[in-house]
Structure 1
Amino acid sequence: MRGMKTYPPNRIRELRMARNLSQEDLAGLLETSSGQIHKLERSKSTLSLEWMLRIAEVLHCDPRDLIPPGERTAEAARDLLLGKVGQLQRLVKDGHFKAASAYAGDLAKELAATHKRFAD
């Protein structure tokens, strides 16, 4: 298909296959179509933060694992950090203070590393 926009590469196919899942299996777990999975894997559809979080949950990986290390941009890093802040908020809201404390420590380290990489 000529002229179709291509988005940054990702590792969905690699991680899906490592778990012995077909596109149809993954689509079923995500309640979407196998065509959507195909588009995401081939970078023909944008891998939004929402998709990253949903796919990572089903594949039992960190959302960052979906993006090849060399492809991580400041924008992607920001989106991942914002997603993690949301997870931290849910832990606090649900009263899981010990888990939230550990998570906040990890998040602070990741934020510092991100700042070093993308210094403003």
Structure 2
Amino acid sequence: MDAKPPHFLRQWRTFRNLSLRDLAKQAATTPSTISDLETFKLQLSPKWLSRIAPILQCQEGWLIDYDPNEFDGDLLEAWRQIPAENRSQALRVLKSFIPETAARTTQHRLFGALKGKIDIPDDFDDLPDGIIDEIEGR
């Protein structure tokens, strides 16, 4: 199994159908600099991330963490278009599609972590109505 590369700059550039020259021009640098970044000869520093991510229409962290070819691009594009102030609401809506068993497992983990820090009944089903929403800040 191949190790995860330090970043996915080349994948994002090709995903956005940009040549080395196109990205370099938009980033006010040279194609050789972009090539050196893509081949890990130069470090993809925070300065480079903040300059390149907007051109590639992604978040800075996506360049480091995600290969755009390994998941649904439509989902990324939709998420990118959601205003930052509405993303927590969008995330709650997406989580509502998670099957109940997975949601309850997540809630059990949350309460397991809180047990002893606040008074939580031993039986999960004995929790007062609305406590989950209150704890999650809804």
Given the two structures, how large is their TM-score scaled by the length of structure 1? 0.51
Q: Any idea what the Cα deviations from partners look like across 1:18-61, whole Å, max 9, x if unmatched? A: 11111011000001000000000011101110100111011110
Per the alignment, in what secondary structure is the counterpart of residue 29 of structure 2?
Answer: coil
Alignment correspondent of 1:34: 31
Determine if contact 1:9/1:42 at 8 Å carries over to the other structure.
no
Alignment correspondent of 1:19: 16
Alignment correspondent of 2:49: 52
Q: How does 1:1-120 map to 2 (within 5 A)?
A: 9-68=6-65, 102=85
Alignment correspondent of 1:91: none
Query: In structure 1, what is the Cα distance between the partners aligned to 2:58 and 2:21?
Result: 19
- Which structure would you say has the larger RCO, counting Cα contacts within 8 Å and 6 or more residues apart? 1
Per the alignment, in what secondary structure is the counterpart of residue 48 of structure 2?
Answer: helix
Larger Rg: 2
Q: CA deviation at 1:68?
A: 3.0
Per the alignment, in what secondary structure is the counterpart of residue 67 of structure 1?
Answer: helix
Query: In structure 2, what is the Cα distance between the partners aligned to 1:31 and 1:50?
Result: 13
Determine if contact 1:10/1:67 at 8 Å carries over to the other structure.
yes
Query: In structure 1, what is the Cα distance between the partners aligned to 2:20 and 2:30?
Result: 9
**What CA RMSD, in Å, does the superposition of the two structures yield over aligned residues?**
2.3
Query: In structure 1, what is the Cα distance between the partners aligned to 2:49 and 2:18?
Result: 17
**Structure 1 unaligned spans of 5+:** 1-7, 70-98, 107-120
Give percent identity, aligned residues only: 40
Per the alignment, in what secondary structure is the counterpart of residue 58 of structure 1?
Answer: coil
The one-letter code of the counterpart of 2:39 is R
Alignment size in residue pairs: 69
Q: CA deviation at 1:9?
A: 2.0
